[in-house]
Amino acid sequence: MGQTIASARPNTGQTEFAILGAISVCHLLNDTLQTLLPALYPLFRSGLALNFVQLGLLTLAFQVTGSLLQPFVGRFTDRHPQPYSLPVGMTFTMAGILVLARAGSYPPLLLGAALIGVGSSIFHPESSRLARIASGGRFGLAQSVFQVGGNLGQSLAPLVVAFFILPHGRSSLAWIAALALLGIVLLTGLGRWYQASGQARPRGIRGLHAESPLPLPIVRRALAVLIALIFSKFFYLASITNFYIFYLMEHFDLTTASAQICLFAFLAAVATGTLVGGPLGDRIGRKYVIWGSILGVLPFTLVLPYVGLGTTIALSILIGLILSSAFSAILVYGTELMPGRVGAISGLFFGLAFGIAGLGAAVLGAVADWTSIEFVYRLCAFLPAIGLLAILLPDIGREGRALRRA
């Protein structure tokens, strides 16, 4: 497979679907492994007598290492692309999984979570750049194909826990770490293709200063709006990915395995929505996808805490489908605001996504301990209303053309 990737024709101006497919598979492997962490929370809670605050802090340890490092990794690789950093990132992830498999107390769990975060911080900015190089100009499509791999990986993690780890115990995580070895092999092949593409040369500072289509104050305002929208999206998603299993178990008396399958259904919907969002943004404009995605889930989030089991599952699937279509559009929109800084924007936005999700897990874990899981969902239901801020985003294509004519 590595030889096939390395021998693919680079930098042709055409969409390299083989490369996009390979990096999407690697994203699937990376995110399957990193999403095992919250999927394992019921085992950690029962086996080590952890409370919700401690579980939230585990997510925070993972997300903080990812969120703090990713912008710096992205900024550095804008100037000095590192094709072979990708397998290095997967190696950190594998080490984190092995630590989780053997941890007998809380501090090693924190270390394992942090190692997985370091792996993700190295993987995401450079792999996002690789997807853009292989896009052939279809940037939204390329980001969706890349990101759908990650979302599919996130959806598979609960099934891995339900059907493999729960029956065989937490030590079986050591076998799951073999997935990282497959990722290392694939990413080494992708690194060869990346280097052969001609896009891995050092660029220096001048190469980063491509002209934005909009004045700097408008760019800053738009970036502030995008950050607020990322906060809305990922803080709400933290309530689902970290506490949905407990909500279903406590509110509807589901078994752990049944709740894991319901979480899989939600995460599979997230993967589907991600695949739609990028190409739709290429066609109708990314601003409108961002607007409709975040604000569009508000009616469903407001109703979710007050309905029965069947409707809860159905609404969670709708929320996943609609809300997930935003991130590809946000990422490509951000790179259009600041041309030449793909790594910095990817690192910033992925880092914010990680950090906000980690902060959300810690804060919402504390709120759940003080009140209840039901209250958490009633409180978070209003977060998508922040999507109203999308009205402040400029139309990059139209305003940019007008400014250039002037």
Confidence of residue 202 (pLDDT cuts 50, 70, 90): low
pLDDT for the residue 363: 86
Check pLDDT > 70 for residue 345: yes
* Relative orientation angle of helices 17-39 and 106-133, to the nearest 10 degrees: 160
pLDDT tens digits for range 27-65? 999 989 988 887 788 888 888 888 878 887 887 788 778
End-to-end CA distance of the chain: 51
Q: What does each C-alpha distance from 213 to 141, 218, 280, 291 come to in angstroms? A: 22, 10, 22, 21
pLDDT tens digits for range 123-164? 888 888 888 888 887 887 888 888 888 878 877 887 888 888
Q: Three-state DSSP class for 17? A: helix
Check pLDDT > 60 for residue 209: no
User: Which CATH number covers residue 187?
Assistant: 1.20.1250.20
| Boundaries of domain holding 271 | 11-405
Confidence of residue 199 (pLDDT cuts 50, 70, 90): low
* 4 is a domain residue: no
| DSSP assignment string, 117-129 | HHHHHHHHHHHHH
Average pLDDT of the chain is 82
* 71 is a domain residue: yes
Check pLDDT > 70 for residue 8: no
Q: What does each C-alpha distance from 239 to 56, 165, 266, 385, 386 come to in angstroms? A: 11, 23, 12, 16, 16
- Considering only CA atoms, which of 177, 198, 179 is closest in space to residue 187? 179
pLDDT for the residue 405: 37
* 2 is a domain residue: no
* 89 is a domain residue: yes
| Residues in Cβ contact with 9 at an 8 Å cutoff, skipping those fewer than 6 apart | 16
Instruction: Identify which has the larger pLDDT, 346 or 208.
Output: 346
* 221 is a domain residue: yes
Torsion angle of alpha carbons 352, 108, 249, 148, nearest 10°? Answer: 40
pTM above threshold 0.85: no
Q: Lowest mean pLDDT: which of 250-254, 333-337, 374-378?
A: 333-337
pLDDT tens digits for range 271-327? 788 778 778 877 777 888 888 888 889 999 999 999 999 999 999 999 998 988 887
* 315 is a domain residue: yes
Confidence of residue 337 (pLDDT cuts 50, 70, 90): confident
Structurally, how many domains does the chain consist of? 1
